[in-house]
Amino acid sequence: MGLFNRKPKLPPADRPPLAAEERVLAWAAAGNGEGDGVVVASNLGLWLPGRGHRIGWHDILKAVWSGRELTVTPAERVAERDGYLVVADCPAETYLLLDPGELPHQVRARVTRSVAYTAHHPVPGGAGRIAARRMPGVDGLTWTVRYDPGTPADDAVAAETDRLVAAARAATTPADV
């Protein structure tokens, strides 16, 4: 990128309250129909307009770039089980980015890089996706399960999920650890 093609720095008024070890990777002015704001990608996660906190890369279930709009689906923690979290989709949030710059690339790269393992499995009465995600600044993986719509939340599903997560953890643990 040439000197004259560089995007200006993020204005101080638009800068989110970054942590000491956090740095801005990319940003873009955005609109979501409810007012304008700024979407900021940092090394630790994504700052969306109207939120006073960052969404960690490991907590983004899906991010889609249409060429004009960025749609982000964050995870909501539903339950904590032994060794993993059960998550569900929060409502998707869509932002129109007229000058996206590197933001869509950074979002895609960071969300993708956070995924260490993912597999979809049948469970009694439905199915679910087991995922292991990397969290910035945390050793090891965070395991999650996201059930397909209509999958019952009963003891049989929990037992099968426990077994599937344990098997996935065993299959991804290095032999020398």
What percentage of the chain has pLDDT greater than the value 90? 78
- pLDDT (tens digit, 9 = 90+) per residue, 55-110? 999 999 999 999 999 999 999 999 999 999 999 999 999 999 989 999 999 999 99
Look at residue 1 and tell me whether its pLDDT is greater than 50.
no
What confidence tier does 53 reach under pLDDT thresholds 50, 70, 90? very high
In the chain, pLDDT over 70 holds for what percent of residues? Answer: 93
Q: Which residues pair with 64 in a beta bridge?
A: 71
Q: Are 111 and 99 in contact (CB under 8 A)?
A: no
pTM (two decimals): 0.88
- Arithmetic mean of pLDDT over the chain: 91
pLDDT at 142: 95
**Residue 20 has what pLDDT?**
92
- What's the CA gap between 86 and 80, in Å, rounded? 6
Q: What is the mean pLDDT of residues 144-151?
A: 97
136 — pLDDT class (breaks 50, 70, 90):
confident
Burial letters for 111-130: b for 16+ Cβ neighbours within 10 Å, e otherwise?
beebeeeeeebebeeeebeb
Measured torsion, CA atoms of residues 154, 89, 26, 56, in degrees rounded to the nearest 10: -30
- Tell which residue, 79, 63, 29, has the closest CA to residue 49: 29
CA distance 129 to 79: 15
Least confident span in 2-6, 23-27, 42-46, 128-132? 2-6
